[in-house]
Amino acid sequence: MSDSEIRFLEHVCLGPGLVANIFIAPHKDGLCLILVDATSEAGRIQAMQQKGNELVLCMERLRKVELKLRDCLAQKEDHSGRRSHDDVKSND
């Protein structure tokens, strides 16, 4: 990235509930900053992203529960298999 380029910082939170898109451009001996209000845009994205991420987190938790359940079932089957084997042995 060269110093003559315009830099763009998207969705910079400037304070509670205040978000801006910031353009930084070289100007004479310094820099020119342009701040464009992006509060409502960021709010919309946040709401959508929040729901999406919560859904992914829920799915991750569900997958963990499913794995635990499968483990429990496998253990139970193993246990009941051993018991019936022992029953057959004692009947003999």
The pair of three-digit structure tokens given for residue 12, joined into one six-digit string: 């910079």
Stretch that binds other proteins, among 7-15, 27-35, 70-78, 79-87 (CB under 8 A): 7-15
Q: Could you count the other beta carbons within 10 Å of the beta carbon of residue 70?
A: 10
Nearer to other proteins by Cβ, of 52 and 81: the residue is 52
Q: Would you state the torsion angle of the CA atoms of residues 76, 81, 84, 90, taken in this order, to the nearest 10 degrees? A: -110
Rounded distance, CA 74 to CA 66, Å?
Answer: 12
Contact call for residue 37 and other proteins (CB under 8 A): no
* CB 40, CB 55: distance < 8 Å: no
Contact call for residue 54 and other proteins (CB under 8 A): yes
Shortest Cβ distance from residue 23 to other proteins (Å)? 11
Residues of this chain that bind other proteins (CB under 8 A):
1, 7-13, 19, 42, 45-46, 48-50, 52-54, 56-57, 60, 64
